[in-house]
Amino acid sequence: MPCIKVKDLRKSYGSLRAVDGISFEVRPGEIYGLLGPNGAGKTTTIEMLVGLRTRDSGTVDVLGHDPQVSPEKVKMEVGVQLQSPAVFPRLTVLELVNLFATFYRDPLPVDDVIEMVGLTEKRNVQSRKLSGGQMHRLAIALAIVSNGRVIFLDEPTTGLDPQARRNLWEVILELKKSGKAVFLTTHYMDEAERLCDWVAIVDQGRIIAEGHPQSLIDEHFKERALEFEQPAYINDKRLEKLSGVNKVITNGEMVTLYTETVSQTIADLFELAKETGHPANDIAVRRSTLEDLFLKLTGRRIRE
């Protein structure tokens, strides 16, 4: 049975529709990703799911409770990491995680949680002296220590270095293995492909695609992406006539061709470059990704 059920959820601020009628379900032992650019409504959605913000309309059920009616019952059963947590600046990492552990019936061991997020060496440092990335990891520790049945993570790896990011991915996967549902928001599409069992891509408050990451990609792309830099080819219709090319997308000086016959497309591109005198610089071939899917559905990149 789903541990989160959302139907036709809406939230507006004046004329701005931050969340515009989204519906989804999340099950135990599943990592569910809400993907989209900044301003897509991801944080507003999490805040409504955990009872921090009231909704305009729609229904929400988290572990059998409506967070707007019984927020205290929801908060006892979930862990929440927000992007900008407010904590006591003069308490140390250890003191803060200990404090949050007292809020829950069956918290995880504090030392284990601090080690999981890579803050063992900072355990006796006051939170006000932490770097931005360390503060972000502390916020995740405060969510994990709850031992909640659902863990909400809002942009969990923003500001982390590549190694810390990969380490946190392993922590999130361990949460899944323990049977917890993880609801995370991100604008890193590679992160979603690596972690998520199910994703919903949101744009301007609406879900524009939903499904298993690879299934979504396979549904929309049978081709490879061929990328190169050459501003002279921006809006050049001749690219659409190259062998195997199904779609052409430009972004700044970057050109992306989606083709089913990579080698022939490259050969034709070289011929075009010889004809025009404009070489295609730094050609790269890769498989299609969720980033490509967002670009195809919206006409822009997720971090524009």
The DSSP bridge partners found for residue 198 are 32
What lies within 8 Å, CB to CB, of 225 at 6+ separation is 256, 257, 258, 285, 286, 287, 288, 289, 292
Same domain, 245 and 106: no
List the domain range (segments joined by +) for residue 71. 4-217
Same domain, 161 and 195: yes
Same domain, 260 and 207: no
Instruction: Work out the mean pLDDT of the chain and round it to a whole number.
Output: 92
Average pLDDT rounded to a whole number, residues 210-230: 91
Same domain, 50 and 117: yes
pLDDT bin (cut points 50, 70, 90) of residue 197 is: very high
Same domain, 70 and 175: yes
Same domain, 105 and 134: yes
Same domain, 205 and 190: yes
Whether the per-residue pLDDT at 245 is higher than 80: the answer is yes
Q: Write down the pLDDT at residue 288.
A: 86
Structural domain contains residue 96: yes
Structural domain contains residue 103: yes
Same domain, 266 and 248: yes
CATH number of the domain encompassing residue 31:
3.40.50.300
Structural domain contains residue 292: no
pLDDT bin (cut points 50, 70, 90) of residue 97 is: very high
Whether the per-residue pLDDT at 300 is higher than 80: the answer is no
- Quote the pTM value: 0.87
Same domain, 166 and 91: yes
Structural domain contains residue 300: no
Question: In 10 A of CB 117, how many CB atoms?
Answer: 25
Cα(189)–Cα(14) distance, integer angstroms? 30
Whether the per-residue pLDDT at 40 is higher than 60: the answer is yes
Whether the per-residue pLDDT at 127 is higher than 60: the answer is yes
Last residue of some domain: 184, 200, 217?
217
Same domain, 186 and 241: no
Same domain, 196 and 226: no
- Count up the domains in the chain and report the number: 2
CATH number of the domain encompassing residue 278:
3.30.70.980
Structural domain contains residue 282: yes
Same domain, 257 and 134: no
Cα(234)–Cα(28) distance, integer angstroms? 47
Q: Write down the pLDDT at residue 304.
A: 55
Question: In 10 A of CB 301, how many CB atoms?
Answer: 17
How many residues are there in the chain?
304
Give Cα separations from 238 to 5, 20, 208, 241, 284 (angstroms): 48, 39, 30, 5, 20
Structural domain contains residue 295: no
Structural domain contains residue 43: yes
CB environment 181-219: b (16+ within 10 A), e (fewer): bbbbbbbbbebbbebbbbbbbbbbbbbebbeebeebbee
Structural domain contains residue 301: no
